[in-house]
Structure 1
Amino acid sequence: MVIPSQKHVRNSLLSRMHPDDYAAIETVLEPVTLKRKDVLIQPGQPLTHMRFIESGVASVVVGTREGRRIEVGIIGSEGASGLPLLFDVESTPHETFMQIDGEALQVDKASFRNLVEERPAFRKLMMRYAHIFQLLTAQTALSHGSYTLEERLARWLLMCHDRVSGDEFPITHEFLSVMLGVHRPGVTTTIHILEGAGTVRARRSHIEIVNRDKLKLIAGESYGIPEAEYRRLIAEDAAEG
């Protein structure tokens, strides 16, 4: 893999940063291929890289000693994995792993911290993304506690759709049950409900979004707040700049 020019980079943070900042980070970027289930961050282990996702989707999950797990965050080409490094934190109890194959451009810990310290515009961009990711985790907590499984699944499918190219992506009912913290039969039943509403089409290990607008109506207020903040603070701000 070759490091792309800023014009052709797929990660939104890299594509929207100031050209001088991209020129600086470009010299220390390293391309990596990421396979499904690859662990990007191991709980309690030293963080080594900030990874700007170019394609694919990663999940941030928390777990109990008994082995129960639930997703609290999702990362695609809009963001990056390794945010604790921004705050000079060496490790985190949360795990991050790939749920859909993809690629990333990564920068080692020392180089990333140098960029944060030396380049104010770069630091501002990363801090804004960290703020948005915090909103995403908060919205996920609200969804788990306040919305129906149908609304939560619609939200999750919309977030995944935001982060993949095309309308179809690989996902299993078993994986969704873990990510949403529910039993698999509940996920299967809810997918059938969404199919009946004409929003998705499910086949073995894949889901296709066929009517995004209807899916957004089902998700309701569970979806949209972090996404609006991303547009306001990163996408629109970069366009104005």
Structure 2
Amino acid sequence: MLTARYSAASNRLLGGLPPRTRDRFLAECTLVDLVLGRILYERGDLIRHVYFPVDSSVSMLAVIDRERTALEVGMVGSEGMCGHALVLGSDVAPLRALVQGAGTSWRMKASTFRRQLENVPALRQLLWRYVGVLFGQLAQAAACTRFHVVEQRLARWLLMTQDRSHADSFEVTQEFLAFMLGIRRVGVTIAAGSLQSKRLIRYRRGRIVILNRDRLEAAACSCYLADLQIYQDGLGTRSKLQRVTHARAAKERTP
């Protein structure tokens, strides 16, 4: 019964657990709907729940200037979890967690999660590895913001969002994109217009449609593949990276 339930609503990170361990873990979770724009916790909040997204996504935001300004430094979807501070023994959120893509997520009470960590070695080892992956991706995001141009960063962000939404189209406003990328709205207009003129995306009335995934990957900065490599190296999950790199290799071999 639970295995069928999991197959209908899966999280790739939890998929790294042995099946029986995973099913016992999920038996203590609740499948919830995450609403677009909802703040799961602010920086400094007590973490009361952990989340394992299924088809939703959560932006991890660094807040500055007394929390008037924020910048996305990470994104969590079905490949990860939200609430990683608990894995390190803290119960205080280091970043703002904002629902970027509406959808479903497994949710577990923090007290239950701590007990699971203490009693289930396989879970503890998996999540220690995941936290290492997350730190590597956060560092990659910081370098990306500093060194790569807006159009490349936007292409990367769109690919990451598509990966987590499992759809070719999604709703996002220019204001939200500017907020996520830490730029002015005019910068979003120019970058999105350039991608649209190349027929990589269609952007109209707050909805983006990915028209050509392969060419959008080529337009993105190297940080997109770097993120996948960090995940593979840390968790041994090769399928997504292999799909992208093999597709690129095949195109390069084509005369």
TM (normalized to structure 1)? Answer: 0.91
Q: Contact 1:40/1:81 (CA < 8 Å) preserved in 2? A: no
Deviates more, 1:37-46 or 1:228-237: 228-237
Counterpart-to-counterpart distance in 1, 2:71 and 2:178: 9
Q: Contact 1:53/1:80 (CA < 8 Å) preserved in 2? A: yes
**Partner letter of residue 154 of structure 1?**
A
Deviates more, 1:64-73 or 1:154-163: 64-73
Matches within 5 A, 1:59-208: 59-65=59-65, 67-208=68-209
Query: Matched residue of 1:12: which SS?
Result: coil
Q: Are residues 3 and 85 of structure 1, via their aligned partners in 2, closer, same or farther at CA, if it must alter by over 3 Å?
A: farther
What's 2:227 paired with?
226
Q: Contact 2:148/2:221 (CA < 8 Å) preserved in 1? A: no
1:41-96 deviation per Cα after TM superposition (whole angstroms, max 9, x unaligned): 22211101111111122111112225111101111111111000101111124110
Q: Contact 1:52/1:80 (CA < 8 Å) preserved in 2? A: yes
Q: Contact 1:6/1:22 (CA < 8 Å) preserved in 2? A: no
Q: Which runs of 5+ in 1 are unaligned?
A: none
What's 1:17 paired with?
17
Q: Contact 1:3/1:29 (CA < 8 Å) preserved in 2? A: no
CA drift of 1:152 comes to: 0.8
Q: Contact 2:3/2:23 (CA < 8 Å) preserved in 1? A: no
Counterpart-to-counterpart distance in 1, 2:115 and 2:131: 18
1:85-117 deviation per Cα after TM superposition (whole angstroms, max 9, x unaligned): 101111124110111211111111121112112
**Partner letter of residue 168 of structure 2?**
D
Counterpart-to-counterpart distance in 2, 1:25 and 1:93: 25
Counterpart-to-counterpart distance in 1, 2:135 and 2:213: 25
Q: Contact 1:170/1:207 (CA < 8 Å) preserved in 2? A: yes
CA drift of 1:3 comes to: 9.1
Q: Contact 1:147/1:222 (CA < 8 Å) preserved in 2? A: no
CA drift of 1:222 comes to: 2.4
Query: Matched residue of 1:216: which SS?
Result: helix
What's 2:8 paired with?
8
Q: Contact 1:70/1:179 (CA < 8 Å) preserved in 2? A: yes
**Partner letter of residue 48 of structure 2?**
T
Query: Matched residue of 1:20: which SS?
Result: helix
**Larger relative CO (CA 8 A, sep 6+): 1 or 2?**
1
Counterpart-to-counterpart distance in 2, 1:72 and 1:226: 12
Q: Contact 2:57/2:77 (CA < 8 Å) preserved in 1? A: yes
2:237 to 225, 229, 235: 235
Query: Matched residue of 1:89: which SS?
Result: coil
Please give the root-mean-square deviation of Cα atoms over the aligned residues, in Å: 1.8
Counterpart-to-counterpart distance in 1, 2:122 and 2:228: 22
Counterpart-to-counterpart distance in 2, 1:14 and 1:4: 15
Counterpart-to-counterpart distance in 2, 1:221 and 1:105: 31
Query: Matched residue of 1:98: which SS?
Result: strand
Q: Are residues 160 and 180 of structure 1, via their aligned partners in 2, closer, same or farther at CA, if it must alter by over 3 Å?
A: same
CA drift of 1:234 comes to: 4.1
**Partner letter of residue 189 of structure 2?**
T
